[in-house]
Structures are given as structure tokens and as C-alpha cells.
Chain A
């Protein structure tokens, strides 16, 4: 187990996560989270479960093109779960035109390797604000 950054199956899933967001692919994105995921959106109550997560996601995915990047700063793995913290930067461009919105901040993601051997996002929280790690 190391704490500098993840070098596990979860690392590859992080790249798939970024790709799904930037492709605005809600199904792929929802497939990356566990069925019983708990997702903490800023400014709102926790979302519980993949279905709730996807309902929350849909208006954004249909309305914006995303350009998201993650910069991990630390993490660790123990048995079938792995956590990682880092910073994110994203640019959201309205599909119908208009000014882009930029967000940056920190994230925490907890990955869990489920019974099928696949790592999925189990818990997630981010905080918009200062982006330095």
C-alpha cells in the first residue's frame, strides 16, 4: 500500500471516468459508479444510488460539453477499496452556445472493487474553490 498516489486497477478507471465525462456519455459515467454509490454534490443533499446519480447527471450531460481534467495528489489502497484526493478543473460549454463556465476545486473519491472484480466509485465528494492540492 502506498500513499503517494494510486497505482492500481482504480487508476485505469480514473482515466475511463475522465473519458466518459468528456464524451458526455451518461451511461458510461453511471456505469463507473457502484449501485449503492453515495455522491456528495456541492450545495445539495447527498445522492444515494446509481439511479439517483444518473437522474442528477442527465441535465448537465445534455446541456454542456465538458472538458475535465483531474490531478491526483495522494491516495492509498487497502484490500478492496482505494481512496484518492486531488484537484479537478472543468470547463462546461453550453451545447446551444453561450459563455463557458469554469470550475476548479478538490475531490475525494473512494473506489471499491466489487464482487465482479471491477473497481467502481463508491463515495465521492468535491469542493469547489481553491484548486491547489
Chain B
């Protein structure tokens, strides 16, 4: 690797922890931090194309509402949507804009940005989406996605 390459890698390596630190510096409550963790796992499972990890983030009776597509209301449907969607390679970031918790319910407003490399053409498509996600606390205390609805900024 040439020196500019090393410099770029070093810069990125330094910036990533700084970005994460900035995110954790916000004064989230324990519930909000749990939801931030869920958002981060949503991002990781999307980028890894991990169907089961993604589906596990949803409550059993969740409804997933993507624009221009039928609502998904079953775990089987979630697996099918994920299996189809994850053929394309995502490189996205999901940033929480706000998280509000009230009893067993919470909602988050998030912004999704990045790119998706379309299978099989290799076309790279920009992603600029805004979402509202409703979360429900399960009996075990874990938060799960109950409703997810989004639309595009483009």
C-alpha cells in the first residue's frame, strides 16, 4: 500500500471511533440506548445481508411497510423480503434523529443513507430514506420492531 493509501486508511480508522463516540455521547436513557443498539444491529444485518439476524429484530406481529410494496405482516414474509432484498449489497448507515420512549412503546425517527449495489448489474444506487419505527418492549424486556414505515427523500 502506498503512503497516501495508508494515510487515508489511518484517517478512516480514526474517524470511525470518533463518530461512534459522538453517537454515544448523547445523553440517552437506558431504553434509548437499547433502541440505539437495535438500530445499529439493523444496520449491521442489512450490510451483512444476514436474513435471520434482520428478521430477529422484529416482533412476531410486526408490520413492515416499505414504499411501493405490499405490507409484510408475517415472519415468513419478512424472510422473503430480506432474502430478495439482500441479494443486493447494501452499504448503509442508519442514524437515529430522535428516540421517544413511553412505557412499553417507543418510536424512533431515523435517516438511512448510503448505497446499494444492485444484483446482478452492479449498478450503484444512492439511498436517502427517512423512517419512523415503532418499537415494543417484550416480556423479556428486549425491544423489538413493531412497525416500520419509510419513504424516500428523492
A107 to B66: give the CA distance in the assembly, Å: 11
Binds B, one of A11-19, A27-35, A37-45, A64-72: A37-45
Main secondary structure of the interface of A (DSSP, over half): strand
Give the shortest distance, in Å, between B73 (CB) and chain A (any CB): 8
Cross-chain contact of A129 among B69, B132, B153 (Cβ < 8 A): B69
B contact residues, range: 20 to 34
Chain B interface secondary structure, helix, strand, loop or mixed? strand
Contacts of B67 in A (CB 8 A): 42, 105, 127-129
Q: Which of B8-16, B97-105, B113-121 is the contact stretch?
A: B97-105
List residues of B (36-79) whose CB comes within 8 Å of A's CBs: 63, 65-71
Beta-carbon contact of B66 and A76 below 8 Å: no
| B65 and A106 form a contact (CB under 8 A) | yes
Is there contact, CB below 8 Å, between B105 and A43?
no
Task: Decide: B109 and A132 in contact? CB cutoff 8 A.
Answer: no
Q: Are A132 and B151 in contact (CB under 8 A)?
A: no
Determine which of B69, B104, B132, B154 lies in contact with A125 in the assembled complex, contact meaning CB atoms within 8 Å: B132
A130 and B66 CA atoms in complex are apart in Å by 9
Q: How near does chain A come to B65, taking the closest CB pair, in angstroms? A: 5
Q: How large is the interface on A (under 10, 10 to 19, 20 to 34, 35 or more residues)?
A: 20 to 34
Do A123 and B151 touch across chains, with their CB atoms under 8 A apart?
no
Give Cα A91 to B128, complex, Å: 28
Collect the chain A residues with CB atoms within 8 Å of residue B153's CB.
43-45
* Min CB–CB distance B97 → chain A (angstroms): 8
Rounded to whole Å, the gap between the CB of A7 and the closest CB of chain B is: 16
Q: Mark A116-133, 1 if CB is under 8 A from B, else 0.
A: 000000010111111011
- The answer to whether A127 touches B68, judged by C-beta atoms less than 8 angstroms apart, is yes
The reply on B35 being an interface residue by CB < 8 A is no
* 11 pairs of residues in contact across A and B, judged by CB atoms under 8 Å: A40-B151, A78-B104, A85-B65, A106-B71, A106-B149, A108-B147, A110-B132, A127-B65, A127-B66, A130-B70, A130-B71
